[in-house]
């Protein structure tokens, strides 16, 4: 399925049905009075968050969401049928904005959460409402009130506990496939991941947390280079970040410069991302060249006040220690002492 995380749509609630102009016409009831009924209410347009949807693809190709109008009132004081509400299903994590003003109208972050984006109009009153001692035969009724309509901008921010960040080809997709059932595309070239992926990691007592694999960033991403910056909104909701560093490509790759470059991009996008707890680790220690450099890099990062871990997403070495640290940070408990 194509991943779509933004959409522009038009919503229109139903108009209220018009009231009825009617007079009683019954045998043996001379001069029957007005008995026109009210019109029915127009349908609302309601957004509902449901995990059955994981993307805004449906809304991308169905830009107009229009509810039905209420029915006309009728004689004998019968009220017209109200129209059914139009329920539009969206994935949890959807933000609804007014397209013109940019105002956030709703943040549907929980399963089953609903929000009325356009209210249906009330039905018009029938002529039975307008009788008086001086006007006993009103020959008019109200028209129904028009339903609300507006253009909306929809944005999806994935709901995950841990966001994976790093340069392209650092091994983020391999890591998520190692620790969860997610199977993102994996290949030995940059920008393999073109869309975010979610993986559920299970640990002790059948508990679990969600990891999001975000397309790789490159230096200058905040200026429009590469593709990862457009997906950074998906780590804004995460509780912590897992920063994966790859030093296997060339002998002169500088792990610290890579670390700083990615964090610079985070800061340019949203400075609050830098306040999130961040686990930093070197991947691919199954390669002899990387393994030989790890101790040196660990000592270098320690001088900067940062704990640097190491693991291999391919062989699984060190991944369980990383998971334990993630669990401790998510649960706000002490980090285990047996990690590297």
Q: Where residue 300 falls among pLDDT bands split at 50, 70, 90?
A: very high
- C-alpha 142/C-alpha 327 separation (Å) is 62
Q: Which residues pair with 98 in a beta bridge?
A: 152
CB 141 within 8 A of CB 127: yes
Tokens of 181: 């059932």
Q: H helices of 190-318, where?
A: 255-269, 288-303
- Residue 255 pLDDT > 50, yes or no? yes
> What band does 171 get if pLDDT is binned at 50, 70 and 90?
confident
Neighbour tally for 260: CB within 10 Å: 13
More confident residue, 186 or 51: 51
**Percent of the chain topping pLDDT 70:** 86
Q: Tell me the residue ranges of DSSP E strands in the chain.
A: 6-12, 45-49, 64-66, 86-90, 94-98, 104-108, 114-118, 149-156, 162-165, 197-202, 208-213, 240-245, 278-282, 308-310
User: Kindly report the CA angle at 183 between 182 and 189, in degrees rounded to 5?
Assistant: 130
**Helix axes 319-331 and 172-179, enclosed angle (nearest 10):** 80
Interacting residues of 219 by C-beta distance below 8 A, sequence separation 6+: 225, 261, 264, 265
* pLDDT tens track for 309-331: 999 999 999 999 999 999 999 88
Q: For 67-83, how does the pLDDT look when each residue is reduced to its tens digit (9 = 90+)?
A: 999 999 998 899 999 99
155 vs 144: CA distance, rounded Å: 33
Domain with CATH 3.40.50.300 in the chain: 162-331
- Sheet with 45-49: list strands edge to edge: 86-90, 45-49, 114-118
Does residue 218 or residue 298 have the better pLDDT? 298
Which alpha helices (H) appear in the chain, and where do they start and end?
Answer: 57-61, 172-179, 255-269, 288-303, 319-331
Residue 147 neighbours by CB distance under 10 Å: 27
Fold designation for 1-156: Spo0b-associated Gtp-binding Protein; Chain: A, (2.70.210)
Q: Which residue has the tokens 């060249």?
A: 289
At 83-119, the pLDDT tens digits run: 999 999 998 889 999 999 999 999 998 899 999 999 9
Write down the pLDDT at residue 184. 46
Assign 168 a pLDDT band (cuts: 50, 70, 90).
confident
Give the C-alpha separation, 192 to 88, whole Å: 33
pLDDT value of position 10? 97
Burial class of 335 by CB neighbour count within 10 A (0 to 12, 13 to 18, 19+): middle
Q: What is the pLDDT of residue 213?
A: 82
- Whether residue 243 has pLDDT greater than 90: yes
CB 55 within 8 A of CB 91: yes
User: Which backbone phi and psi does 202 adopt, to 5 degrees?
Assistant: -100, 140
Residue percentage of the chain with pLDDT more than 90: 48
Order the strands of the 94-98 sheet from edge to edge.
64-66, 6-12, 149-156, 94-98, 104-108
What pLDDT does 224 receive? 54
User: Residues with Cβ < 8 Å from 33, sequence gap 6 or more?
Assistant: 23, 24, 128, 131, 136, 137
Q: Determine the pLDDT at residue 189.
A: 46
Question: What is the tens place of the pLDDT at every residue in 192-229?
Answer: 445 677 788 888 765 788 888 877 665 655 555 555 55
DSSP alpha helix (H) spans, 83-232: 172-179
- Residue 282 above 80 pLDDT? yes
Domain with CATH 2.70.210.12 in the chain: 1-156
Q: Judge whether residue 157 has pLDDT over 50.
A: yes
What count of Cα atoms within 13 Å lies in the side-chain half-sphere of residue 250? 4
- Report which of residues 135 and 30 the model is more confident about: 135
Instruction: Reply yes or no on whether the pLDDT at 5 is more than 90.
Output: no
CATH classification code of 162-331: 3.40.50.300
Tell me what pLDDT residue 3 has.
Answer: 63
- Tell whether the model's pLDDT for residue 28 goes beyond 80: no
Coil/strand/helix, residue 85: coil
Q: What is the mean pLDDT of the chain?
A: 85
């Amino acid at each position: 399925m194509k991943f779509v995380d933004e959409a522009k749509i038009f919503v229109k609630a139903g108009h209220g049905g018009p009231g009825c102009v009617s007079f009683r016409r019954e045998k043996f009831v001379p001069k029957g009075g007005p008995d026109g009924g009210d019109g029915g209410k127009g349908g609302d347009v309601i957004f509902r968050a449901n995990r059955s949807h994981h993307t805004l693809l449906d809304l991308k190709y169905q830009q107009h969401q229009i509810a039905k109008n209420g029915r006309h009132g009728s004689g004998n004081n019968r009220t017209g049928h109200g129209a059914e509400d139009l329920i539009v299903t969206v994935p949890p994590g959807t933000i609804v904005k007014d397209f013109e003003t940019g105002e956030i109208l709703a943040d549907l972050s929980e399963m089953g959460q609903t929000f009325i984006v356009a209210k249906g109009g009330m039905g018009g009153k029938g002529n039975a409402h307008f009788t008086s001692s001086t006007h006993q035969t009103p020959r008019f009724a109200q028209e129904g009130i028009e339903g609300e309509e507006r253009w909306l901008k929809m944005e999806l921010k994935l709901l995950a506990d841990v966001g994976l960040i790093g340069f392209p080809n650092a091994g983020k997709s391999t890591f998520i496939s190692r620790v969860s059932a997610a199977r993102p595309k994996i290949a030995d070239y940059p920008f393999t991941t073109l869309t975010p992926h979610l993986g559920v990691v299970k640990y002790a007592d059948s508990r679990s947390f969600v990891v999001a694999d975000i397309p790789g960033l490159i230096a200058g991403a905040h200026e429009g280079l590469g593709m990862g910056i457009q997906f950074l909104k998906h780590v804004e909701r995460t509780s912590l970040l897992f920063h994966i560093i790859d030093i296997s490509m060339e002998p002169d790759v500088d792990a610290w410069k890579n670390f700083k470059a990615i964090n610079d991009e985070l800061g340019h996008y949203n400075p609050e991302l830098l306040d999130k707890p961040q686990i930093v680790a070197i991947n691919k220690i199954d390669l002899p060249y990387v393994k030989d450099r790890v101790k040196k890099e660990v000592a270098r990062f320690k001088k900067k006040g940062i704990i640097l871990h190491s693991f291999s997403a391919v062989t699984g070495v060190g991944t369980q220690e990383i998971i334990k640290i993630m669990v401790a940070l998510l649960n706000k408990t002490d980090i285990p002492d047996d990690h590297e």
